[in-house]
Amino acid sequence: MSNAYLVANQAEAWGLARQDVTWTNHQPASSLVQWYRGSRRNDAPVRPLPPPPAVGGGTQMVCYELPIYAAYNSGVLDVHALWNLVHGFDRLGGGSAAAIMKALTSKWSFRWTFDRACTTEKMSRGDIVFFNGVGHVAIALGNTAVPGQIASVWGMNPIGMQPNTPIEVTTVNAVLGQIAAGFPGGHAPAQVVTYSSPSW
């Protein structure tokens, strides 16, 4: 079984169990980033590295961290690979969208655009799904019976923090509907959804 499948399996299991986290859209508030920053001396990890935060109700998670947590919890990333991945986008990339996308996707993969009208599943299980860059990030579940099915965590709270936010099994179209509902008259700016193979 490929690493992408293992990561998707973990995210889907959390979604089916409706595992709660505390969603945040503020990177410095993230439990994972706090763990990384607290275990760094200059640009090197402390040794031995403390265990990263567990996934639970008190975990403050940015949406794009769901694939990262799933990669670690499925055994695809060990603790040092996890540290290096977060180091890449937090310290070296300054938390930029480009750095986050680079950390999550394979440098050899092509970025495809999701077609809402397509009824045949194109996304592979474990692909990373991007809504307007890193406006939102999810994991494709590659379900041929449910086109566009994803695992996602998103509180969509204007204050940027929402406790008791479940990890969900949902679809790209459902998330696009949620985005539209958040705008006056349900008319959101055009959303570009892309997907690409993961970096693991």
Q: How far lies 69's CA from each of 86, 97, 160, 181, in Å?
A: 11, 18, 20, 29
pLDDT at 158 over 90: no
Q: What whole-number distance in Å separates Cα of residue 183 and Cα of residue 106? A: 33
Q: Which residues contact 89 (CB under 8 A, 6 or more apart)?
A: 95, 96, 99, 100, 102, 103
The pLDDT tens digits for 65-85 are: 999 999 999 999 999 999 999
* Alpha helices (runs of H) in 88-136, residue ranges in sequence order: 97-104
Residue 160 · residue 8 · CB < 8 Å: no
The domain total for the chain is 1
For residue 120, what pLDDT is reported? Answer: 62
Q: What's the confidence (pLDDT) of residue 199?
A: 97
User: Where residue 119 falls among pLDDT bands split at 50, 70, 90?
Assistant: low
Q: Which domain range does residue 190 map to? A: 3-196
